């Protein structure tokens, strides 16, 4: 008789004793958060964003199974209801058993759920071996996106002829309306809403017709545009103005995330000297769901709901039934309803 294989996987938050392990694995992983990958570290030589202590809401976990170890990180920004898988190390190789990776993904889902997240997001190349593993771990594709790259260059084909302003609290309603018009309903729950000073707003006829989220780091500038199709002709100038306003755009590469529902921006990016550098799937795992509390009526009310014996029909309007219906609609207790005259 074959004995069942015992699952020896153990997952926990990293501690000081894990520093050697984390450092050893830090150059062998895969980035699953494009914003962090293209701004904080080199996209071609990724490292763990932080080693031990949580930084900017980043949490690190380790899973051990037999003689194998894996480190994972997820990012939970402020009070938002979703978390983002940031990093896994080592990366999964083609044809490799992915059991260890499934364990760390489950552990991060459980931990982020404890911290208040409802969904866990990962951005991954569809041709990467980890793509299939995420599908096995109950991640679903919510959107597809492309990352465009432009090397530092002082010359822009389009002069910044439009005016952009930094996001303020008074812009939020207009940005919400813009998101409602350009972001598909399925993707809206995982679209980060801006805070004061985060990104630039483009107004036309006193309406918010464009918002460009901006993240800057030592490795690059990352732009996340949301433009209304009505400003199609202004798109190159809007993007050029956002590049000019970014502090580090003349020192580091500029990356632009374009999700499939905004792929009409591709022509504008080509005109501005951008090249396509990555295609990704935005994958989402639901780790919490709303549960309605069951409303159980008292047993006495259920007995009261038993219909009375049938009465013979009348030729005219049943005034008693009419009064009973009116009293019932007003919320009068059933005892009074039964006391109505026949």
Chain-centroid distance of CA 58 in Å reads 15
Burial of 191 (0-12, 13-18, 19+ CB in 10 A): middle
- Boundaries of domain holding 106: 10-138
E strand intervals along 108-139: 119-124
What does the alpha-carbon distance between residue 319 and residue 325 come to, in Å, rounded to a whole number?
Answer: 10
Q: Is 251 left (phi over 0), alpha (psi -120 to 50) or beta?
A: alpha
Q: Is the CB of residue 22 less than 8 Å from the CB of residue 48?
A: yes
Q: Residues 31, 86: contact at Cβ < 8 Å?
A: yes
Cis peptide before 142 (omega within 30 of 0): no
Predicted structure pTM score: 0.78
CA distances to 58, 69, 137 from 53, rounded to whole Å, are 8, 19, 27
Give the pLDDT of the chain (342 residues) as one tens digit per residue.
444 445 678 999 888 888 888 888 877 889 999 998 899 765 444 555 554 445 567 889 999 998 899 999 998 876 778 899 999 999 999 999 999 999 999 999 999 999 889 999 999 998 999 999 999 999 999 999 999 999 987 777 666 678 999 999 899 999 999 999 999 999 988 888 777 668 999 999 889 999 999 999 889 999 999 999 999 999 999 999 999 999 899 899 999 999 999 999 999 999 999 999 999 999 999 986 544 444 445 545 544 555 555 454 444 444 444 443 343 333 444 444 444 444
In CATH, what number is assigned to the domain containing residue 100?
3.40.630.30
Q: Based on the structure, what is the number of domains in the chain?
A: 3
Which structure tokens are listed for 281?
């799937």
Tell me whether residue 204 is in a domain: yes
Domain final residue, candidates 90, 106, 138: 138
Residue 51 resides in a domain: yes
Among 101, 81, 83, CA closest to 93: 101
**Residue at 1 is within a domain:** no
Domain assignment of residue 231, yes or no: yes
CB 220 within 8 A of CB 243: no
Q: At what angle do helices 129-136 and 99-114 cross, to 10 degrees?
A: 60
């Amino acid at each position: 008789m074959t004995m069942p294989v015992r699952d020896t996987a153990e997952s926990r938050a990293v501690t000081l004793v894990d520093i050697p392990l984390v450092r050893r694995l830090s150059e062998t992983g895969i980035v699953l958060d494009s914003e962090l990958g293209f701004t904080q570290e080199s996209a071609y030589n990724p490292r763990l964003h932080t080693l031990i202590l949580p930084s900017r809401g980043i949490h690190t976990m380790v899973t051990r199974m037999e003689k194998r170890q894996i480190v994972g990180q997820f990012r939970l920004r402020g009070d938002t209801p979703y978390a983002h898988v940031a990093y896994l190390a080592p990366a999964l190789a083609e044809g490799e058993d992915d059991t260890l990776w499934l364990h760390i993904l489950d552990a991060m889902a459980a931990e982020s759920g404890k911290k208040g997240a409802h969904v866990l997001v990962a951005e991954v190349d569809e041709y990467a071996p980890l793509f299939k593993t995420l599908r096995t771990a109950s991640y679903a594709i919510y959107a597809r996106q492309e990352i465009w790259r432009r090397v530092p260059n002082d010359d822009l084909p389009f002069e910044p002829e439009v005016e952009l302003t930094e996001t303020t609290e008074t812009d939020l309603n207009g940005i919400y309306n813009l998101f409602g018009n350009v972001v598909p309903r399925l993707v809206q729950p995982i679209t980060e809403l801006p805070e004061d000073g985060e990104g630039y707003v483009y107004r036309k006829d006193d309406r918010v017709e464009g918002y460009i989220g901006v993240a800057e780091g030592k490795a690059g500038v990352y732009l996340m545009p949301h433009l209304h199709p009505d400003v199609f002709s202004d798109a190159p100038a809007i993007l050029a103005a956002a590049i000019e306003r970014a502090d580090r755009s003349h020192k580091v590469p500029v990356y632009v995330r374009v999700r499939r529902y905004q792929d009409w921006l591709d022509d504008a990016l080509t005109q501005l000297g951008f090249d396509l550098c990555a295609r990704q799937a935005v994958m989402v795992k639901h780790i919490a769901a709303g549960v309605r509390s069951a409303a159980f009526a008292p047993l006495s009310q259920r007995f009261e709901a038993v219909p009375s014996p049938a009465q013979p029909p009348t030729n005219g309007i049943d005034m008693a039934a009419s009064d009973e219906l009116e009293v019932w609609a007003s919320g009068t207790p059933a005892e009074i309803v039964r006391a109505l005259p026949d």
